[in-house]
């Protein structure tokens, strides 16, 4: 097992940042900690690195209890959100730092250090910048150097705190793919923290969704996306339409509309429930194909690149519904603002409980 966290709890004055978190990460796995800002995910990462201490709990790295080890004995690679490159050192010296501070008996000689640094900088495609200072590099380049620096000490695990958040959209995409490729090459057990669901879905082997210091759900991106355990996870993983309704006799009432309740709620007693539908799972048609279809008027059309966003006022619903349809369909149906269309709610996900968005 690469990383084993047992019952980690951390309180700061006034609030609980982490509440009894247990998590296992297999060797060589790339795991995303996904959650809104302030949910405790960065604190968890810092605790694994030893930069914070848990109030309760154990951190086991490669089967060795490291809970009370100082960070420098943990052998963890940490990539900071704002890179934290040493501004007075060159790129070479930044990457070499972890090797140069080793005790004399473990320290490689100059040539070995030089070779290793060069190898790592080649790996992150930054070998051309070996003599530069951090201030002379762009954000994406600094991030690569920070990564090389963290890898230089052969860490047992690699921790990345919001690795792409400070980059602009295009660089972020590029670096994301590159990091996935790099991980497939070097296979070091890695955890990264992010608040961007797309990033987590694209990059991770496994996603751990955290909210208010607790793990809401964990699983492969596919599992988490297709079978969200609760309203929070569903909502956090993408845009949604939310309908407040009631569940009764195996049916969910949404406005003047009824849908079948999910199996596990078929025999539930009458209570308030929420139904979620993702905008791209809403069907739009010129002809009525089923009697459950809603009638809606297009209030607004938004161009969103490959997709078209529609804002629909539907009969029997207080709030407008957002739908996303492919551009081709939009053109084929010759839709325009003000048109009346038929709307089908595919894959409605129903949750009961007190979760409020």
Partner 1 sequence: MGLFSIRRRNILPGFGLSMGYTVFYLSAIVIVPLSMIFFNTVPMGWDPFVHAVTAPRVLASYKLSFSTAFFAAVFDAVAGLLTAWVLVRYRFPGKQFLDALVDLPFALPTAVAGICFATLYSPVGWLGATLTRWNIEIINSATGIVVALVFIGFPFVVRTIQPVLEEVEQEIEEAAHCLGATRWQTFRRILLPHLFPALLTGSTLAFARGIGEYGSVIFIAGNLPMKTEIAPLMIMSKLDQFDYAGASAVALVLLLISFSMLLLLNAIQEWQQKEYR
Partner 2 sequence: MLKQPTPETAPIVKKRVSDPLPIQMLLIGVMLLFFIGFIFLPLGLVFAQAFQKGWAFYLESITESYALEAVKLTLTTVAIVVPLNAFFGVTAAWAITKFNFAGKAALKTLLDLPFAVSPVIAGLIFVLLVGSRTPFGSWLGEHGIKIIFSTPGIVIATLFVTFPFVVRELIPLMEAQGRDEEEAALTLGAKGWQIFAKITLPNISWGLLYGMILCGARSIGEFGAVSVVSGHIRGQTNTIPLHVEILYSEYNFAASFAVASILVFLALLTVTLKVALEKQFQKNSFHH
Which residues would be at the binding site for partner 2 (CB under 8 A)? 49-51, 70-78, 80, 82, 84-89, 97-98, 101-102, 133-135, 149-150, 152-153
Binding at 13: pick from partner 1, partner 2, none (beta carbon under 5-8 Å per type): partner 1
Going by C-alpha positions, the residue among 72, 77, 131, 61 that lies closest to residue 101 is: 72
Q: For the residues of 321-347, what is the DSSP string, one character each?
A: EEEEEEHHHHHHTT--TT-EEEEEE-S
Q: Which of residues 273-312 bind partner 1 (CB under 8 A)?
A: none
Integer CA distances (angstroms), 194 to 16, 42, 201, 208, in order: 20, 9, 11, 10
Going by C-alpha positions, the residue among 106, 104, 166, 158 that lies closest to residue 141 is: 166
Binding at 76: pick from partner 1, partner 2, none (beta carbon under 5-8 Å per type): partner 2
Integer CA distances (angstroms), 170 to 31, 163, 166, in order: 23, 14, 12
Of the pair 72, 131, the CB lying nearest partner 1 is at: 72
Binding at 15: pick from partner 1, partner 2, none (beta carbon under 5-8 Å per type): none
State the nearest-atom distance from the C-beta of 80 to partner 1, in Å. 14
State the nearest-atom distance from the C-beta of 71 to partner 1, in Å. 6
What x/- string results for residues 27 through 66 when contact with partner 1 is judged by CB under 8 A? -----------------------xxxx-------------
- Whether residue 247 contacts residue 210, with contact meaning beta carbons closer than 8 Å, is answered with no
State the nearest-atom distance from the C-beta of 27 to partner 2, in Å. 20
State the nearest-atom distance from the C-beta of 101 to partner 2, in Å. 4
Of the pair 71, 255, the CB lying nearest partner 1 is at: 71
Rounded CA-CA distance 137/182 in Å is 21
Of the pair 68, 125, the CB lying nearest partner 1 is at: 68
Of the pair 35, 77, the CB lying nearest partner 2 is at: 77
Rounded CA-CA distance 264/268 in Å is 8
State the nearest-atom distance from the C-beta of 49 to partner 2, in Å. 6
Binding at 135: pick from partner 2, partner 1, none (beta carbon under 5-8 Å per type): partner 2
Binding at 277: pick from partner 2, partner 1, none (beta carbon under 5-8 Å per type): none
How many CB atoms are located within 10 Å of the residue 265 CB?
17
What x/- string results for residues 64 through 93 when contact with partner 1 is judged by CB under 8 A? ------xx----------------------
- Whether residue 218 contacts residue 209, with contact meaning beta carbons closer than 8 Å, is answered with yes
Going by C-alpha positions, the residue among 125, 210, 199 that lies closest to residue 162 is: 199
Binding at 144: pick from partner 2, partner 1, none (beta carbon under 5-8 Å per type): none
Pairing status of strand 251-254 against strand 241-248: antiparallel
Binding at 53: pick from partner 1, partner 2, none (beta carbon under 5-8 Å per type): partner 1
Binding at 77: pick from partner 1, partner 2, none (beta carbon under 5-8 Å per type): partner 2
State the nearest-atom distance from the C-beta of 34 to partner 1, in Å. 26
- Per CB under 8 A, does 101 bind partner 1? no
Burial class (CB in 10 A: 0-12, 13-18, 19+), 101: exposed
Binding at 123: pick from partner 2, partner 1, none (beta carbon under 5-8 Å per type): none
Of the pair 71, 238, the CB lying nearest partner 1 is at: 71
State the nearest-atom distance from the C-beta of 283 to partner 2, in Å. 49
Strand order, beta sheet including 271-277: 257-260, 251-254, 241-248, 271-277, 349-352
Alpha carbon dihedral 90, 95, 97, 100, in 10-degree steps, equals -110
| DSSP single-letter state for residue 147 | H
Burial track 239-253 (b if 16+ CB lie within 10 A, e otherwise): ebbebebebeeeebb
Enumerate binding residues for partner 1 (CB under 8 A).
Answer: 13, 50-53, 70-71
């Amino acid at each position: 097992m690469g990383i084993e966290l047992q019952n980690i709890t951390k309180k700061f004055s006034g609030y609980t940042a982490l509440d009894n978190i247990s998590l296992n990460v297999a060797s060589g796995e790339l795991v995303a900690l996904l959650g809104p800002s302030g949910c405790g995910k960065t604190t968890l990462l810092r605790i694994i690195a030893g930069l914070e201490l848990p109030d309760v709990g154990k951190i086991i790295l490669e089967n060795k209890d490291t809970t009370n080890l100082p960070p420098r004995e943990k052998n963890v690679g940490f990539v900071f959100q704002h890179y934290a490159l040493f501004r007075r050192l060159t790129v070479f010296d930044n990457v070499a730092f972890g090797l140069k501070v080793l005790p004399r008996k473990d320290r490689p000689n100059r040539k070995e250090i030089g070779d290793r640094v060069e190898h790592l900088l080649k790996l992150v495609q930054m070998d051309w910048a070996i003599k530069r200072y951090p201030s002379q590099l762009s954000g994406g380049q600094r991030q690569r150097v920070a990564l090389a620096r963290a890898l230089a000490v052969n860490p047992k695990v690699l921790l990345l705190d919001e690795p792409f958040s400070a980059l602009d959209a295009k660089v972020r995409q590029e670096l994301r793919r590159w990091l996935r490729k790099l991980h497939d090459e070097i296979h070091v057990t890695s955890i990264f923290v992010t608040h961007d669901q797309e990033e987590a879905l694209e990059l991770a082997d496994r996603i751990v969704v955290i909210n208010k210091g607790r793990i809401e759900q964990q699983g492969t991106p596919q599992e988490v996306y297709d079978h969200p355990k609760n309203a929070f996870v569903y909502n956090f993983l993408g845009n949604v339409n939310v309908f407040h309704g009631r569940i009764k006799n195996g049916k969910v009432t949404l406005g003047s509309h009824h849908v079948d309740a999910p199996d596990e709620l078929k025999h539930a007693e009458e209570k308030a429930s929420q139904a979620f539908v993702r905008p791209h799972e809403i069907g739009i048609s010129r002809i009525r194909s089923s009697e459950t279809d809603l009638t809606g008027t297009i209030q607004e059309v938004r161009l969103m690149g490959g997709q078209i966003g529609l804002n629909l006022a539907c009969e029997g619903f207080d709030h407008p519904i957002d739908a996303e349809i492919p551009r081709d369909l939009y053109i084929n149906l010759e839709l325009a603002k003000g048109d009346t269309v038929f709307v089908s709610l595919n894959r409605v996900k129903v949750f009961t409980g007190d979760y409020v968005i």
